[in-house]
Amino acid sequence: MRVLNMLVALAASVAASYGAYNLIRSVGPADRTGEYGFGEGATVSPNGGDLFESRNFALVVAALERELGADAVLQSLTVDRTDAGAVAHVGGRRRYVDVDASGRSRARDGDPVEPAAVLSLGLVDAAAIDRIVAAAEKEAGAPVESLSLFGNRQWSVRMERGEPDSFVANLDGGALRLPGEPNPEPIGAAPDSLLRAANLGRVLAAAREAAPGGRVRSLDVRPDRVGFGIEQDGRELRLDYGYDAQLTSRDIRPLTGVDTPGVPFDRLDARMVERMARRAGKELDEVRYVLLSHGSDELSMHFAEGSDPPYVTAEL
């Protein structure tokens, strides 16, 4: 009798377990295979291959548009073979977006933004990936490990091994080169070049508004950035701007160097770079940078390596 009771209890336990299993299958847990990071789709792209192919990287771009909006700006974007991560600026705060191999995503908000170079999401072209990966793997004889894109509109390429182990490339995937090497594709005359009067004018207006009553002690104008040293209230305000007159850094420090009050903003003309290049018989593509040094009211314009003369000067 005791054995019979034990068998009945065991049968009841099995029946209860089976019933519970069927109940779980009918009401949960929820199927999460369509969510970020779950299932095979977390590491396998639906088109085959990986995110280092433009057809799959397009899923990353689409996910960023979905999470951020088509008009979003990115501070950085990092891509591995099976996932990608972006830092964007949305509503005055950082927003972090993760994307898996299938283009599924998740987002979370972070701290308030600080000045930084940012890049419009609309400028990110999936087709650039194929060009970068092919050129880098041919050059190094090794696979690409990761790709990163920053607000300076350059891709950074890390290799799994080989020599060299890193490269940089332009936004369109061209001009692969070693970090620190000059860009072989001149950008001085590009539509968004800060050497152009229209773009430089926006930067000068932004700096003047940021430092009312200030006097410029130093100025560094390049195709992709402009830096100021401004005397204001007995200190030096350092301002750096990138494309589209974006403030990328701001710093206040004690006055150093030559004891000079600097020049007023009224003496800085947005057309001064174009005019100076024209008088020197040069195109903007040939200009590397223009400087106004501490204690001087004279501009120096420096040309591409090998130019004769290498630079010219002119009074403001």
In-domain check, residue 222: yes
**What residues contact residue 66 under an 8 Å CB cut-off, 6+ apart?**
105
Last residue of a domain, one of 151, 181, 211: 181
Span 33-50, pLDDT tens digits: 678 989 999 999 998 999
In-domain check, residue 9: no
Q: What is the largest CA-CA distance in the chain?
A: 113
In-domain check, residue 8: no
Read off the pTM: 0.81
Nearest to 65 by CA among 108, 116, 111, 105: 105
Q: 206 and 174 in one domain? A: no
The pLDDT of residue 2: 46
Q: 164 and 44 in one domain? A: yes
Assess contact for 165 and 156: CB atoms under 8 A. Answer: no
In-domain check, residue 14: no
Whole-angstrom Cα distance, residue 46 to residue 44? 6
The SS3 of residue 60 is: helix
Q: 210 and 276 in one domain? A: yes
CA within 13 Å, CB half, 252? 7
Whole-angstrom Cα distance, residue 294 to residue 276? 20
Span 141-196, pLDDT tens digits: 999 999 999 999 999 999 999 899 999 999 999 999 999 998 988 899 999 999 99
Q: 231 and 141 in one domain? A: no
Nearest to 38 by CA among 49, 26, 29, 47: 29
In-domain check, residue 85: yes
Whole-angstrom Cα distance, residue 220 to residue 248? 14
Q: What is the DSSP string of 9-72?
A: HHHHHHHHHHHHHHHHHHH-SPP-TTSTT-SGGGTS-TTSS-TTSHHHHHHHHHHHHHHH-TT-
Span 83-95, pLDDT tens digits: 999 999 999 999 9
Q: 177 and 43 in one domain? A: yes
Structural domain for 295, as ranges:
197-315
The pLDDT of residue 103: 96
Q: Are strands 166-170 and 119-120 parallel, antiparallel or unpaired?
A: unpaired
Q: 267 and 145 in one domain? A: no
Q: 83 and 161 in one domain? A: yes
Quote the tokens at residue 38.
């779950």
The pLDDT of residue 30: 57
- Report the pLDDT averaged over residues 295-303: 89
Last residue of a domain, one of 155, 181, 207: 181
Q: Number of folded domains in the chain?
A: 2
Assess contact for 55 and 47: CB atoms under 8 A. Answer: yes
The pLDDT of residue 227: 98
Instruction: Please state, as a whole number, how many other Cβ atoms lie within 10 Å of the Cβ of residue 264.
Output: 12
Q: 230 and 163 in one domain? A: no
Q: How far is CA 15 from CA 2, 18, 314, in A?
A: 20, 5, 94
Compute the mean pLDDT over every residue in the chain, rounded to the nearest whole number: 89
Nearest to 221 by CA among 150, 287, 308: 287
Q: 105 and 81 in one domain? A: yes
Assess contact for 81 and 49: CB atoms under 8 A. Answer: no
The pLDDT of residue 17: 45
The SS3 of residue 279 is: helix
- Residue 22 pLDDT class (50, 70, 90 cuts): very low
